[in-house]
């Protein structure tokens, strides 16, 4: 912090967090007419390899800052691939030239993930695809050195893809967007004298509900004697 000199001199402690060549300047706050003085260039070396950093589309590395990154993650679309950047860094987010092998995982259990691959000069690009709409993170783990702290991204949004098809769920079934079949559970037996409800969803190719769809839907049955509902419009992509 700013502080007063004592008998014309003072000692100030600071730490340079970004690798490179930097200067330090002393300015007189009390008397602005006095000439400031700048040091000669000080080489600042990298710290030890401490952890991995994962940057999403829309983010950039900002070594020496508290978070090590700047920018805002770009929203992604379910079923559409994108790339992330993984950096080997020291405790202050400075890039370390190291070629460890990295594994990528996602909090979206249905995501399509890349194979493990080695960094080049401390950095690497990995491509993946989220299948499930929602809010997710991506994590990079060091396979070569288990003691290195993994890097987890900030949370980002995955939106549904384009309206591609209808999904029909019967009692006993629940939606499972992002999975191969889009549903879980087993159909519950019904009685001939008891009406029951089914759910129709407008979904993308990965079974995510597309909430902007309000199309009219007709229900039919393989039972030619079934009592069927009238055609009706979806609301928010479902009915």
Contact indicator for 55, 104 with CB cutoff of 8 Å: no
Residue 192 has a pLDDT of 93
Residue 189 has a pLDDT of 97
Residue 210 has a pLDDT of 98
Side-chain-side CA neighbours of residue 110 (13 Å): 19
Beta-bridged to residue 71, according to DSSP, are: 59
Side-chain-side CA neighbours of residue 19 (13 Å): 15
Residue 64 has a pLDDT of 95
Q: Which among 78, 79, 58 is positioned nearest to 69, based on CA atoms?
A: 58
Q: What radius of gyration do the chain's Cα atoms show?
A: 28
Q: Residues near 181 by Cβ (< 8 Å), separated by ≥ 6?
A: 207
CA distances from 74 to 68, 131, 156 (A): 18, 16, 7
Q: What is the mean pLDDT of residues 160-168?
A: 98
pLDDT digits (tens, 9 = 90+) for 212-228: 999 999 999 999 999 99
pLDDT digits (tens, 9 = 90+) for 19-34: 999 999 999 999 999 9
Residue 2 has a pLDDT of 97
The percentage of residues in the chain with a pLDDT greater than 90, rounded to a whole number, is 100
Whole-number Å distance between alpha carbons of 219 and 169: 12
pLDDT digits (tens, 9 = 90+) for 73-111: 999 999 999 999 999 999 999 999 999 999 999 999 999
């Amino acid at each position: 912090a700013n502080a007063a000199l004592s008998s014309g001199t003072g000692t100030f402690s600071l730490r340079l967090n970004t690798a490179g060549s930097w200067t330090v300047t002393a300015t007189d706050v009390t008397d602005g007419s006095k000439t400031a003085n700048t040091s000669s260039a000080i080489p600042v070396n990298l710290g030890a390899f401490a952890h991995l950093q994962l940057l999403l589309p829309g983010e950039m590395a900002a070594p020496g800052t508290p978070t090590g990154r700047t920018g805002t993650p770009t929203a992604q679309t379910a079923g559409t691939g994108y790339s992330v950047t993984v950096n080997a860094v020291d405790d202050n987010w400075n890039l370390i030239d190291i070629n460890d092998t990295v594994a990528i995982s996602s909090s979206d259990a249905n995501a399509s993930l890349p194979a493990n691959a080695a960094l080049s000069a401390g950095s690497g690009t990995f491509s993946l695809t989220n299948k499930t709409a929602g809010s997710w993170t991506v994590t990079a783990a060091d396979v070569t050195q288990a003691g290195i702290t993994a890097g987890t991204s900030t949370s980002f949004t995955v939106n549904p893809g384009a309206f591609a098809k209808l999904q029909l769920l019967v009692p006993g079934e629940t939606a499972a967007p992002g999975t191969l079949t889009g549903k879980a559970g087993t159909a519950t037996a019904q009685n001939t004298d008891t009406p029951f409800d089914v759910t129709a969803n407008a979904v993308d190719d990965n079974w995510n509900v597309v909430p902007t769809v309000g199309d009219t839907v007709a229900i039919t049955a393989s039972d030619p004697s079934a009592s069927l509902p009238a055609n009706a419009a979806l609301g928010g992509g479902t009915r």
